Amino acid sequence: MKPTGHLLTLALCLLTALVTAAAPRKFTLQSPSGTLRVEVAAADSITYRLYHGDDLMLGDSPLSLTIGDGRVLGAGDRLSGTSRRSADEKIVTPIYRKQSIEDKYNELTLRFKEYNVIFRAYDSGMAYRFETIGRKPFTVVSERAAFRFPADHKAYIPYVRGERGTATTEIQFWNSFENKYVYSELSAWRDGVLAFLPILIESEGGKKLCITEADLLDYPGMYLSPEGPGTSLRGVFAPYPAKVVPGGHNGLEGVVEGREPYIARFDGPARLPWRVVIVAAEDAELADNDLVYALATPAKGDFSWVKPGKVAWDWWNDWNLYGVDFKTGVNNDTYKYYIDFAAEHGIEYVIFDEGWTKLYTADLMQVVPEIDMPMLVDYAASKNVGIILWAGYNALNRDIEGVCRHYAAMGVKGFKVDFLNRDDQQMVDFHHRAAQIAARYGLMLDFHGTYKPAGLQRTCPNVINFEAVDGLEQLKWANEIDQVTYEVQLPFIRQVAGPMDYTQGAMRNASKSSYRAVNSEPMSQGTRCRQLAQYVVFESPLNMLCDSPSNYRSEPECLAFITATPTVWNETRILTGRIGEYIATARRSGETWYVGAMTDWNARELMLDLAFLGDGNFEMECYTDGPNADRAARDYRKHTETVPADRKITVRMAPGGGFAAKITPMR
C-alpha cells in the first residue's frame, strides 16, 4: 500500500526532528578585538575550540559533570536557550600590582533545564564554568575538563613534588604544591604523575597557553594528567575526604583516611570554578595578565584596614643574630631585637615563625615559657610594628573562631597558616572560611604549604599572600638545585595566578660555583642585585626580609632600597622578558617608578625603553652588578644618574645577575 500524503508529511516531520535533535548547535564567541575566537558545539556533548588569530590553540575539548544520580551534565541535554552579553568595566583593586584593571570580554551562556555553561572570551584568554540552578542537594562524582592540543607541544610541567611515577594518586593529593618546572614534550609526561597549576604550554610560532583556574571557593582544585598520546590533558580532582586525622609535620597536617565516591557536594545552587586558558603571543604578556583576578568574586564589605607591607622574618636566618649580649632563639630578647630592627627601618611587621607554641600540642593557646606574648605584642605596638604569628593548619582549624578572637584582642595582626598541603573541597572551603572568620577580627592571612592563588585574594583581600612556590627556603638544604633559572620562569607561570611569598632578600649571595646549602647561615644563588630586583619583579603584598637583622645592618644601602620599595602598586609594566632567560619589570607607586631585571646563568645586556615616564627630568638611583659579581656575587655598585632624554638605558647583568633602580621626578 502506498503511503498517503498525510503519512508522508508526518514521516518527513519526524525525520527532520530526529536530524535536528542530533545536529550540533554551533556558536562562535569572539574576544572584543577579535584576536581570540572560541567555537562551541552542543549536541551529544559540549566541546569547544580555541583560536588565536588563524592559529588553532585547542582542538575539540569536551567538558561535562557527572553528578550523584548518574546524570551527566553537558552530555545530550536539550539546550533550552542561549544568551550573550558584553562587558567593558574598570575594576578598582585595593591590594594588587595595579590601581585598576580593565575587565573587557564577550560572554556566551548555554542554558539547560537545571544548569548553565558560561564561556567568556577576553583578548588575553578564555574561560568557562558550570553553574547549577536546582535547589536540591547534589554531589559531583567527576568532572571532565579536557585540553586537546593540535600537536605534541612542549610544556613547563610542575610535577607534584617528589613523585616519580611510583606513588599512588592518593599520595600525590597530599603535597605542598612546590616544585621546579620540567621542560619537555607532553608525550614525555612522567607515567602516573600529576601536575598542579598553573602549567605553561608552548604552541606553534612561539605562542603560549597558560592553564589555571579562578574563583575557586568551594570545590577541589584541579590537577592535570595526560589523556591520549601526548596531545591532550585532562583535569584530575581529589575526592572528598571521608575521614581526616592529625598527622604529618608535628601533627599539624590533616591526613586523609579514606575518600567519598564523589569530589564535591552542594546543598543547592553552585557556581564551579572558571577553567582558564590564557593565550600570549609574546612571553611578556603572560607576566602582565589579570584574568585570575578579574574572574574572581568581588569582595564584600570594608577591607580598608588591611595593611600590606614588609616583614622581618626569623626562620630562614635561623634566629641567627650576632654582636648581641644574649643567646638568640625563640625568646623575648631575640624578638625584641627583631622588633627594634623593624621599627628603626620602617618595616611594618615581625613574624614569629614555628616554635612559639609548645611542640606536638597543635594548640595555639599553649605558648612556650620563653615567650611573653602579650608583652611582646604591646612592645611592638609601642614602636608601630605589628606581629604576625605562624600557625599550623590543625592548630588553627581546631578552634578558628576562638584563636582569632583571642589574638586579635591581644593586638596580633594576622597568621601565617602552614602545612595545609591539600586542595580537596574540604580544604578549599577551609581557606575561604578561615579568611571570612579572620576578617571579622581584623586579621590578615598568609597561606603557606598550600595551592596556587585562584581568586581568593580578590574575594577576601585580607588573604594577603600565598606560597605555592619553590621559594628561597630551598637553598637552606638543597645542594643540587637551579634556583636562578626557576626565578626567571616564575613571572611567566606561577605569578600569572597571583601573588607569591617567595621570601627573598638574602645578603649572603653565591655564584654558580660557590653556592652550597647551609641551614643556619643560608645563601642565595645569583648576585646581590638579583635579590634587590626581586622586590620589584615578584608580586608580594606581604613581603619578607628573609635574612638576619645583623646581616642587614651590615648592608645599609641594600636595606634602604628594600625597605623603601612598596609592596602594592598603582601601575605595572613588563618592559621585556623571555621565559627562563630574563625579565625586566617597572612598577609605579605615586610618582616614583621602580625597575627590576633578572637574567639566567648567562651574562646579559638589555636595552630598556623608559618612554612611559613621560615628559620631564628624572633621577635614577641604580644598583648594578659589580665587575666581579660573576665570582663574588655580593659585588654591586650603587650610583645615581639622570634618565636620558631618549628614555633608553642599557642594563648589564652578570651570570645569575640583576638590576634594580628607583626613578623619581627632578624638581
**Which residues are known to be catalytic?**
418, 473
Residue environment code for 600-619, b if the CB has 16+ CB neighbours within 10 A, otherwise e: bbeebebebebeebeeeebe
3-class DSSP state for residue 47?
strand
Query: DSSP for 530-596?
Result: HHHHHHHHS--SEEEE-S-HHHHHT-HHHHHHHHHS-SS-SEEEEEEEETTTEEEEEEEETTEEEEE
Residues 6+ apart with CB under 8 A from 409: none
Beta pairing, strands 463-466 & 509-510:
unpaired
- Residue closest to 617 by CA, chosen among 562, 666, 561, 574: 666
- Residue 262 three-state SS: coil
Backbone angles phi, psi at 171, to 5 degrees: -60, -35
Which whole-number Å values give the CA distances from 527 to 566, 608, 650, 661, in the listed order? 21, 20, 18, 15
Task: Answer for the pair 636, 625: CB distance below 8 angstroms, yes or no.
Answer: yes
Is the torsion defined by CA of 88, 94, 95, 98 positive or negative? positive
Q: Helix 425-440 to helix 400-410 angle, to the nearest 10 degrees? A: 30
Is 277 within 8 Å of 211 (Cβ atoms)? yes
Q: Are 290 and 89 in contact (CB under 8 A)?
A: no
**Residue 228 Cα distances to 46, 147, 152, 243, 255, angstroms:** 19, 11, 11, 33, 32
Cα(77)–Cα(56) distance, integer angstroms: 28
Question: What stretches of 228-355 adopt beta strand conformation (E)?
Answer: 232-237, 244-247, 253-256, 264-266, 274-280, 309-312, 349-352
In residues, how long is the chain? 667
In 281-371, which ranges are E strands? 309-312, 349-352
C-alpha cell at 633: 656575587
